[in-house]
Homo-oligomer: A and B are copies of this chain.
Amino acid sequence: MSSDEVIRIASPADFHVHLRQGRLSALVTPHVRKGGFTLAYVMPNLKPPITSTEQALAYKGDLEALDPDVEYLMTLYLSPELTPDEIRKASRAGIVGVKSYPRGVTTNSDGGIESYEPYYPVFEAMQEVGMVLNLHGEIPSNPATNTCVLNAEPQFLPHLVSLHVRFPRLRIVLEHATTRAAVETVKSLGDTVGCTITAHHLSLTVDDWAGQSFHFCKPVAKYPDDREALQEVIREGHPRFFLGSDSAPHPPAAKATATPTDACAAGVYTSPILLPLTAHLLESFGALDKLEGFVSTFGRKFYGKEVTGTESQASVTLRKKKTTVDKVWALETEEVVSFWAGKELNWSLE
């Protein structure tokens, strides 16, 4: 579906995005479509986190009020309140997944989990009803085990493997993979295990966030060879690896400024430029022909959200035309700065 200068993508789907609450949500939720996407898989790490079907449906209503033309797939936050009964109820209500955050590793994860075993009955119920388990795949830093932000993901991978072995029919997504080790592990597992990759991790390495907090996110970008592994698996068109932007807005002041005692907020924001950015990056490493698979087909197939005939009008057209990315996106008093601000992209949305 492409000529040299135009690419049409059927219903791009972002399988990992943070749409926040309140005024910030009003600013960023419309950016899903602005970035070329018609489906948003919505993270539940609000304050308080989304732990019940009622909360998730209320949140979905809030998002639909902000932009009704996006399909929002909702998730619950894995926590002790979540029971097998709640899982069955959530599934009946159309909630798609459950997100697991290890305690303390990212924004609003203080309620995160320390051990998966207590949740086995929940996972059993999820496997029965066909809900998806979304894993933030990092273990907390611990000097005693030499664990830090650089190896937190590789050290998590045995947990992914053992969950898959114990629940082979449970669909599991390792979210925002950043390492060669993660790519290889996911590839080695069965068809029920998928993996999201962000756009920004296709561009960044550790050098880019050293002293540059606008590029600081969790998981942090790793070594050049890790970035290469992410690019390779997309270039080969592996159908279990698909886009989840992990687009995470923070006010510019929270991103820009550390104090001697407080760090900057973690998160890279890509929503308003997501499809052009992804096209630009895939082109840079020779994978433009895999764009539709990566941003639409593969993830939709994994989630059973294939594009049907009636949805084909939602396809999006990219044209090869340079644009400079806006420096600030604002709504009333809210502002966000996107990744690639002030830089050029080779592709534009029509």
- Using a CB–CB cutoff of 8 Å, the interface residues on chain A facing chain B are 141-144, 146-151, 205-207, 209-214, 216, 220, 223-225, 227-228, 255-266, 327, 337, 341-343
Partner of A211, one of B146, B224, B260, B263: B263
A223 pairs with B148, CB closer than 8 A: yes
Interface of A is mostly: loop
Q: Could you say which residues of chain B place their CB within 8 Å of the CB of A264?
A: 211-213, 258
Which B-chain residue is minimally distant from A255 (CB atoms)? B258
Q: CA separation between A261 and B213, bound complex, in Å?
A: 10
Q: CA separation between A209 and B220, bound complex, in Å?
A: 12
Partner of A258, one of B142, B205, B213, B343: B213
Q: Could you say which residues of chain B place their CB within 8 Å of the CB of A212?
A: 258, 262-264
Q: CA separation between A317 and B142, bound complex, in Å?
A: 35
A266 pairs with B211, CB closer than 8 A: yes
Which B-chain residue is minimally distant from A261 (CB atoms)? B342
A-B contact list, 14 entries, CB within 8 Å: A143-B227, A149-B210, A150-B150, A209-B211, A210-B266, A211-B258, A211-B264, A211-B265, A214-B258, A214-B259, A214-B260, A255-B258, A260-B327, A260-B342
Q: Could you say which residues of chain B place their CB within 8 Å of the CB of A227?
A: 143
Q: Could you say which residues of chain B place their CB within 8 Å of the CB of A266?
A: 210-211
A148 pairs with B205, CB closer than 8 A: yes
Partner of A223, one of B150, B263, B265, B343: B150
Q: CA separation between A144 and B151, bound complex, in Å?
A: 21
A148 pairs with B207, CB closer than 8 A: yes
Most chain B beta carbons < 10 A, residue from A141, A220, A227, A263: A263
A211 pairs with B205, CB closer than 8 A: no
Q: Could you say which residues of chain B place their CB within 8 Å of the CB of A225?
A: 146
Which B-chain residue is minimally distant from A265 (CB atoms)? B211
Partner of A210, one of B263, B327, B343: B263
Q: Could you say which residues of chain B place their CB within 8 Å of the CB of A265?
A: 211
B256 pairs with A143, CB closer than 8 A: no
Which B-chain residue is minimally distant from A214 (CB atoms)? B260
Whether A257 contacts B260 in the complex (CB less than 8 A), given A146-B225, A210-B149, A216-B210, comes out as no
B211 pairs with A216, CB closer than 8 A: yes
Q: CA separation between A11 and B28, bound complex, in Å?
A: 59
Q: CA separation between A282 and B274, bound complex, in Å?
A: 49
Whether A260 contacts B341 in the complex (CB less than 8 A), given A143-B205, A216-B211, comes out as yes
